[in-house]
């Protein structure tokens, strides 16, 4: 791996597309954190933070925001005009909860959050179990499978489609749109990626708008109906916000969960963990899921903008400057997690940063946790001889951290 650390100047050179890095970023994180927990990542061109204390504090620091255009103009920031060919993509981003700041953020988040509180989400457990069993029924006789495609991918998309109230049959189409849009968040975006994301955004938004309009006269017990009711009440939710929220939930609701499941299966198999012990009962399962999420989270880097001139952890930032928070590095900080590379479900508390923190803390965390807590024990109980047949590799998609395949056998 080509990793250059200049501790005196706190500068790091490390190509996020270096296979040795994205395949196993943890040794690089450890070396960087030890030398400079706050460092300027030259390849990205902004300051990043790799320690747990720093990442946790900055996620909650109100002097930073996901958004900056509410306090500074593009001209002040020295940003070029938005690219015309990205208009459909930008239109969706503009109304996304993830890209908003209070008070709009609070209004929208409150509307959506009701559907995601643990009490509501728990009701989905039997459906998740049925989906997991159906998937295994479909491939069990083959004796082997690529589990990312066959198991990890179809479950989260069906669950979020059900929760929202979109037909499950749309699953493959939703996955295609979503993958093309999410590619925009990777390092080194090309014009081809932009064009594909714009096309997918347009098609996705058109579908959602048409579907929502059709459902206005057909309200049921699902999230889209709750949002449609809010939309009908003056000032609570605009149609654009409704469309964007549905797209965001469909995207966020599966991408990360697919890879959280894939990474967890890999951890269990590679480390030879005993599924009967780690999934012995509901308490053990919950603790194991937290530790699996800590050890190998699917999302490694989130950014924030300084909303004012600030100095944090010895770094002076000007208003409008971007910073990077390395969730994957924070989760292995030995100052917070003794023996950080070990799987230890006994960590209590386990304050990992996998779902972020502060006002943007993942809305879907209870759902993602439930999907893992239901699906993983079923997989290992039904296929007790499960083993890897090839060394899994990570996708070249940093800051996403997921596998490009998970070949396994059980006969």
CA distance 221 to 43: 47
- Tell me how far, at minimum, the Cβ of 402 lies from ligand HEM, in Å: 10
Nearer to ligand HEM, 5 or 128 (CB): 128
CA distance 106 to 101: 8
Q: Nearest residue by C-beta to ligand HEM?
A: 364
CA distance 30 to 407: 29
Q: What are residue 297's phi and psi, to 5 degrees?
A: -70, 155
Would you state the structure tokens that stand for residue 264, as one six-digit string?
A: 């967890």
What is 134-188 written as a DSSP string?
A: HHHHHHGGGSEEEHIIIIITHHHHHHHHHHHT--GGGHHHHHHHHHHHHGGGSSS
Nearer to ligand HEM, 97 or 406 (CB): 97
- Tell me how far, at minimum, the Cβ of 35 lies from ligand HEM, in Å: 25
- Tell me how far, at minimum, the Cβ of 99 lies from ligand HEM, in Å: 8
CA distance 95 to 73: 18
- Tell me how far, at minimum, the Cβ of 288 lies from ligand HEM, in Å: 14
- Tell me how far, at minimum, the Cβ of 362 lies from ligand HEM, in Å: 3
Adjacent-strand bridge partners of 400: 299
Nearer to ligand HEM, 18 or 358 (CB): 358
Nearer to ligand HEM, 66 or 266 (CB): 66
Residue of 235, 257, 237 lying closest to 355 (CA atoms): 257
- Tell me how far, at minimum, the Cβ of 153 lies from ligand HEM, in Å: 13
In 3-100, the DSSP E strands lie at: 4-6, 11-13, 38-41, 46-49, 64-65
- Tell me how far, at minimum, the Cβ of 254 lies from ligand HEM, in Å: 7
Q: Is the dihedral of CA 201, 205, 207, 208 positive or negative?
A: positive
CA distance 356 to 378: 28
Nearer to ligand HEM, 39 or 305 (CB): 305
* Prior bond of 228 cis (ω within 30°): no
Nearer to ligand HEM, 249 or 312 (CB): 249
Nearer to ligand HEM, 111 or 368 (CB): 368
Residues that bind ligand HEM (CB under 6 A): 66, 97-98, 109, 160, 248-249, 252-253, 256-257, 260, 297-299, 302, 354-356, 360, 362-364, 367-368
């Amino acid at each position: 791996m080509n990793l250059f650390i200049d501790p005196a100047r706190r500068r790091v050179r490390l190509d996020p597309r270096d296979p040795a890095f994205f395949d196993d970023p943890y040794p690089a994180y450890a070396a960087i954190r030890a030398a400079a927990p706050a460092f300027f990542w030259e390849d990205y061109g902004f300051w990043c933070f790799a320690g747990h204390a720093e990442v946790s504090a900055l996620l909650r620091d109100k002097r930073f925001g996901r958004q900056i255009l509410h306090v500074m103009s593009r001209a002040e920031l020295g940003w070029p005009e938005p690219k015309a060919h990205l208009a459909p993509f930008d239109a969706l981003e503009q109304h996304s909860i993830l890209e908003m700041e209070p008070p709009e953020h609070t209004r929208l988040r409150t509307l959506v959050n009701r559907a995601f509180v643990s009490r509501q989400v728990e009701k989905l457990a039997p459906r998740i179990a049925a989906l997991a069993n159906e998937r295994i029924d479909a491939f069990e006789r083959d004796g082997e499978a690529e589990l990312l495609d066959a198991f990890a991918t179809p479950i989260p998309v069906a669950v979020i489609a059900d929760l929202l109230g979109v037909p499950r049959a749309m699953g493959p189409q939703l996955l295609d749109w979503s993958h093309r849009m999410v590619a925009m968040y990777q390092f080194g975006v090309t014009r081809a990626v932009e064009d594909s994301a714009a096309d997918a955004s347009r098609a996705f938004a058109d579908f959602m708008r048409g579907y929502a309009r059709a459902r206005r006269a057909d309200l049921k017990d699902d999230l889209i109906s709750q949002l449609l009711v809010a939309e009908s009440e003056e000032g609570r939710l605009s149609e654009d916000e409704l469309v964007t929220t549905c797209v965001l939930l469909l995207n966020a609701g599966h991408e990360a969960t697919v890879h959280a499941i894939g990474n967890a299966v890999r951890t269990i198999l590679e480390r030879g963990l005993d599924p009967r012990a780690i999934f012995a009962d509901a308490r053990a399962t919950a603790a194991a899921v937290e530790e699996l999420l800590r050890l190998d989270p699917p999302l490694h880097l989130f950014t924030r903008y300084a909303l004012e001139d600030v100095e944090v952890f010895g770094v002076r930032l000007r208003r409008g400057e971007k910073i990077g928070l390395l969730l994957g590095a924070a989760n292995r900080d030995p100052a917070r997690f003794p023996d950080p590379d070990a799987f230890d479900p006994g960590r209590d508390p386990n304050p990992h940063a996998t779902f972020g923190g502060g006002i943007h803390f993942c809305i879907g965390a209870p759902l993602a946790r439930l999907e893992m807590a239901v699906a993983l024990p079923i997989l290992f109980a039904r296929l007790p001889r499960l083993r890897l047949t090839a060394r899994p590799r990570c996708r070249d998609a940093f800051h996403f951290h997921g596998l490009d395949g998970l070949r396994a056998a059980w006969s």
